[in-house]
Structure 1
């Protein structure tokens, strides 16, 4: 939007009940994708998983595999510090955080709190694509997959109809489809951001800074 390039963000979780954790976090950058998988200390072949993801995207895709949510959050924060510049990028998600709602950022805040991890998004602008894409006529379709399919086209490599299946995949240690689903969502979100950047007025992006006021 404007002179800022979108970086799309999405998480998967083990559910919505008490004790649920972040299982995957993904970012889609201008030239690459980056994902981190929390296996909860179960085995996963990072090389094989990374190679499989590479079959579904023309971008360089980096994958990290960690044993728990705390390390996932630490790894995520390191990526943000190294790869996202608030003067060059804005963070975006689809229903990541909207007025009085959203999923990804509220869940991430609680995850950071329970693991005593500092908030990773410091001085980074944010615009939610659910708000921006509402400026298109989508016949009351509001979900990410439905809006993307209507405005851009189908992503054939997503193995799931919705994110609920990602919970089951995590429980059953089905890492490849879980990661493919997250990859599809971050690429969908970034493509929608690029589309909105060409057609939606800048004032309708509802840009805000994600840094809490007491971050120095």
Structure 2
């Protein structure tokens, strides 16, 4: 366990075609502590303009600097992730965080990513990077219940936890600058077009890629913000880092 949590972290999340071993990664995104995002999308050979995607995403996210890399298959997506990590990560200070990606009870993203690296005959993408999952600290150290005594409903999804802790129901538009990119919402609503990641699958099949990119962008932003809450309000002993 790492006792100090004052170092920067990078939030990460993926979108997939499903949950099975033969499904594939469609989008993988990172949210960096400087308030910018890098997304990689596997279009399965379809055409998509990186520049147009970046412009449209920035227009709905309050002007967050966004880089979109378009690749033609999953293998190229995984290699693009390796390139981002090699070029953009400082291994002493940048650590990956995610939400329920590899928790004690299972998690989804990292096991899925490991299998896809194996199936594509590629080296492990996150080799030797430090990683922490914020799911358990959010669930155990922050109150995400919103009903009466004895009849509580535990809302520990990424979206549910974030909505409660950031009061998104009552959120109003705010001004953002390049120095302050926290809580970037558009007209009082998250810039996420979906209620959950499963909704993105049908759009991917129809080659409607922009909404999937928006959803991944919103999820990595949510993850990063929850990570910041953990850093500020929860003891460092409750956040466990490990080398991947």
Shift of the alpha carbon at 1:18?
4.6
Moved over 6 A (4+): none
Residue 17 of structure 1 corresponds to 20
Say if 2:54 and 2:68, in contact at 8 Å, map to a contact too: yes
For 1:97 and 1:27, how far apart are their aligned partners in 2? 17
| Count of residues in Structure 1 that have an aligned counterpart in Structure 2 | 210
1:1-216 correspondence to structure 2 within 5 Å: 2-31=5-34, 32-55=36-59, 56-134=61-139, 135-139=141-145, 140-154=154-168, 156-210=190-244
Secondary structure at the counterpart of residue 70 of structure 1: helix
Shift of the alpha carbon at 1:2?
2.1
CA 1:98 to 1:57, structure 2 compared with 1: closer, same or farther past 3 Å?
farther
Shift of the alpha carbon at 1:121?
1.3
CA 1:120 to 1:57, structure 2 compared with 1: closer, same or farther past 3 Å?
farther
Say if 1:131 and 1:206, in contact at 8 Å, map to a contact too: no
Secondary structure at the counterpart of residue 14 of structure 2: strand
Report the TM-score when normalising by structure 2. Answer: 0.83
Say if 2:21 and 2:115, in contact at 8 Å, map to a contact too: no
Higher mean C-alpha deviation, range 187-196 or range 14-23: 14-23
CA 1:57 to 1:106, structure 2 compared with 1: closer, same or farther past 3 Å?
farther
Report the TM-score when normalising by structure 1. Answer: 0.93
Secondary structure at the counterpart of residue 30 of structure 2: strand
For 2:31 and 2:235, how far apart are their aligned partners in 1? 23
For 1:29 and 1:18, how far apart are their aligned partners in 2? 29
For 1:125 and 1:141, how far apart are their aligned partners in 2? 27
For 2:125 and 2:21, how far apart are their aligned partners in 1? 23
Unaligned regions of 5+ residues in structure 2, if any? 146-153, 169-188
Say if 2:101 and 2:133, in contact at 8 Å, map to a contact too: yes
Secondary structure at the counterpart of residue 101 of structure 1: coil
For 1:96 and 1:85, how far apart are their aligned partners in 2? 21
Greater C-alpha Rg: 2
Unaligned regions of 5+ residues in structure 1, if any? 211-216
